[in-house]
Amino acid sequence: MLAGLTAGLYLAGIGSYPPGLYDDEASVGYNAWTIAHYGTDQFGNHLPLFFVDFGDYKGPVATYLAAPFALLPLGATVAVRLPSALAGIASVVIAARMALRLTGSKPAAVVTMAAAALTPWVFLQSHTDMEGNILMVLGLTAACWCIVETRSAERAAGWWLAAGVALAVSVFTYAPARLLVVLVAGVALVTHRKRVRLLLPFVAPLLAGYAILGAWSLSHPGALLARFEQVGVFSGGRSPLAVVGRIAGNYLSYFGPDFLVVKGDGNARQTTGFGGVLLSLTLPLIVLGALRLWARRGDPLARFILIGTLVAPIPAALTLSAPHALRGAGLIPFLVLLMAEGTACLWSALRSRHMFAVGASMLLVASSTPYFVDYFTSYPARAATAFDAGEGAALRAAYNAATAAHAELFLSASLNQPLIQLLYAIRAAPPQQDFVRETRITVVVDRRQLRAVTRGDVLVLGVNDRPPSGATLMLLVRGGNLVHAPASGSPQDLLRVYRA
């Protein structure tokens, strides 16, 4: 029943909550659509291993999982987000099984499942598709579950093999996983080194995964590090001391109360701003679980969980923006394990255990209710601009107007990635470069490009872009809604569409 309730909660309104479709989601959605219908990415590359997208080379798992849904009449937003929702549901179910095997307590498993399902960090990421971060969480959770199962001598080698496969797949989900998997695998090997013969099946798929990654990287020099060179702490010519200080500060921020329970990371696409990434009620469980594991730190599994918790934020700490809920999501499986241990400790300490699981789950539901009420009521308005709500519809209207008038369409680069939004909104056939040339689209990165505007051309501009003299305001996007024939613009607008 709890699994069904989780599925209902996670599937509710995935096409509308959060509103709009952010650029990364539009990119995954469009490439999934082109793969499903043409077998190529947006640039015409056949079945690529990594997707160029905006030059950040997104991992393939999110896009290929979304491709089958692109063949169904689900709507643009649902098609791209449904794999994330299913991954979130799967992560919660695996968390319950993992807790049961770890603690041997069914009540602890039920409470852990409820806690995982209601955790804002898991829930919100299951409602978006930001490059496959929730798929990384699923892969790591599955790997942790398999490692927990290896405590049983029977079929231990098979479970180690499954853990290695789960981690190897995770490498191709989200960029931080390329380093995080190495760290988690290293922790597993070090803490279980006395079972070296059984670890061989674990290592084999990891070596295969990184061999594929290495071979691709050699044939595309610098591609996989291009994004990190922009967002990493080593960019900008900082001194070694400044870099070390920045890494330390970033790392500690992932364990700080502001991030965990107060306000999250401040980005409306990644945390709602109503509380942190965890329910405050789960913090005592996490602390209690850590103490319980420390008490039996001689156990390899206990050491794996404790050390895994400490290494999980390292890849995220190497980037300039911290804390960052997406990049730091590798911490989630380990926190769930700590919750399970804490719940089991509480269960064993209680004198009266009657209805423990039901009572604890109801308490979790009550404590999470304000978050979910805010999510389905106030959050959509707060997140409309962050998710570019209305941009796709406005770009489609602008494209139709330009096409009907046989005019050129100008898209301002100040809108971040307007072209990918347009491509997905109108389902343009790949390759992108041919479509842009044939339909006379110009992405404006320099105002001097507007000198080519002629009478009748259509322009999609940001609020800080100055339209050409004599241009008429056709429509704008404000609060996620299209406003046709507006009298004037407002600083709160997302974009404005003009006719020259």
Do 126 and 264 sit in the same domain of this protein?
Answer: yes
Question: What's the rounded Cα separation, in Å, for the pair 320 and 372?
Answer: 30
- Rounded Cα distance, 417 and 245, in Å: 33
- In the listed set 382, 413, 446, which residue is the last one of a domain according to the structure? 382
What is the pTM for the complete model shown?
Answer: 0.95
Of the three residues 358, 382, 406, the one that is the final residue of a domain is 382
Q: What three-state secondary structure class fits 261?
A: helix
Domain count, the chain: 2
Cis peptide before 120 (omega within 30 of 0): no
Residues 144 and 72 in one domain: yes
pLDDT in the model for residue 351: 61
Identify whether residues 348 and 416 lie together within a single domain.
Answer: no
Decide: 189 and 150 in contact? Cβ < 8 Å: no
Burial class, 237, CB count within 10 angstroms (exposed 0-12 / middle 13-18 / buried 19+): exposed
Same-domain status, 209 and 331: yes
Closest CA to 458 of 427, 416, 425, 418: 418
345, 360, 382 - which closes a domain: 382
Whether 324 and 451 map to the same domain: the answer is no
157 and 214, same domain (yes or no): yes
Note whether 332 and 472 are same-domain residues.
no
Question: Within this chain, do residues 308 and 421 fall inside the same structural domain, yes or no?
Answer: no
Strands 493-499, 481-484: pairing is unpaired
SS3 374: helix
**Which residue from 123, 126, 98 is spatially nearest to 112, judged by alpha carbons?**
98
The answer to whether residues 136 and 255 belong to one domain is yes
From first to last of its 500 residues, the chain has per-residue pLDDT tens of 788 999 999 999 999 999 999 999 999 999 999 999 999 999 999 999 999 988 889 999 999 999 999 999 999 999 999 999 999 999 999 999 999 999 999 999 999 999 999 999 999 999 999 888 999 999 999 999 999 999 877 789 999 999 999 999 999 999 999 999 999 999 999 999 988 788 999 999 999 999 999 999 999 999 988 888 888 998 877 888 999 999 999 999 999 999 999 999 999 999 999 999 999 999 999 999 999 999 999 999 999 999 999 999 999 999 999 999 999 999 999 999 999 999 999 888 876 676 888 888 899 999 999 999 999 999 999 999 999 999 999 999 999 999 999 999 999 999 989 999 999 999 999 999 999 999 999 999 998 999 999 999 999 999 999 999 999 999 999 999 999 999 888 999 999 999 99
Instruction: Give the pLDDT of residue 237.
Output: 75
226: which residues sit within 8 A by CB, 6+ positions away? 55, 56, 57
**Residue 203 exposed, middle or buried by CB count within 10 Å (0-12, 13-18, 19+):** middle
Which amino acid is it at 320?
L
Residues 490/492/495/500 CA torsion (nearest 10 deg): 10
Residues 359 and 405 in one domain: no
| Cβ-Cβ contacts under 8 Å for 103 (sequence gap 6 or more) | 109, 340, 341, 343, 344
Domain range spanning residue 206?
A: 2-382
pLDDT at 376: 96
Residues 37 and 123 in one domain: yes
Task: Let me know whether 429 and 375 are in one domain.
Answer: no
Place of tokens 């490498």: 171
